[in-house]
Homo-oligomer: A and B are copies of this chain.
């Protein structure tokens, strides 16, 4: 596996704002045979049942009330235990957020892993479709939680760094696929990868927020069309007139 983790990413703090779900794509593709967990039991043994309840409760509360109004007390109540107990499992509110974010990404990874188990298609179009389907699948879960996690909440620097890493991994992976593909011709494969990833992620996220069409398959087709058109486009290097 070649150039991963190049920190092309600028200094702006919020780059990775909403790539989260797809980040998993990168993680999964790079490590397809290296799943973080032996993906076996649906309920991992690492966490007590109580811890699980808290996480679920936090997700529900954040979805319903947003980050600011999602108080630890409310979460404890929703989880059916005392605030004191909650703090026995998580040292603070940020830790909850962190856990939720990790799970979010992990869930995305599972989606991708499942897809890849059926084999990565060889046809470019099919790969794009798979990519889009993965994004849709990952977002379907809870677009509102996604928003709370990646837009509304303050993210601690540690999480920020982690997300940077994941995002870069994804972009790099896609860039490699692009470089290897015979039928596309990018002068800057990494930038192309960034466009693909960003477009897919953004539009998918927006779809669930805006619902520009009620038929999700229509949206899916259109997004695939957009991405395919971009990939297939014959590139010239004459700059467009004007410019900022």
Contacts and interface: CB of A to CB of B under 8 A. Distances in A.
22 contacts: A8-B211, A8-B214, A9-B210, A10-B211, A17-B147, A17-B206, A68-B68, A129-B241, A129-B242, A130-B242, A137-B244, A188-B213, A191-B218, A191-B222, A195-B226, A198-B202, A202-B202, A220-B244, A221-B239, A225-B233, A228-B233, A229-B233
A42 interface: no
Nearest to A203: B198
Interface of A: 8-15, 17, 66, 68-69, 125-126, 129-130, 133, 136-137, 140, 143-144, 147, 151-152, 154, 171, 188, 190-192, 194-195, 198-199, 202-203, 206, 208-214, 216-226, 228-230, 232-233, 235, 239-244
Nearest to A17: B209
A210 B147 contact: no
A192 B226 CA distance: 10
B209 A195 contact: no
A202 B17 CA distance: 11
Contacts of A9: 210-212
Contacts of A8: 211-214
A235 to B, nearest CB: 7
Contacts of A223: 195
Contacts of A192: 222
Nearest to A15: B210
A194 B217 contact: no
- In this complex, the member of A130, A217, A229, A235 whose beta carbon has the largest number of chain B beta carbons within 10 angstroms is A229
B213 A191 contact: yes
Nearest to A139: B244
Nearest to A190: B212
Contact of A12 (B125, B190, B211): B211
Contacts of A225: 230, 233, 235
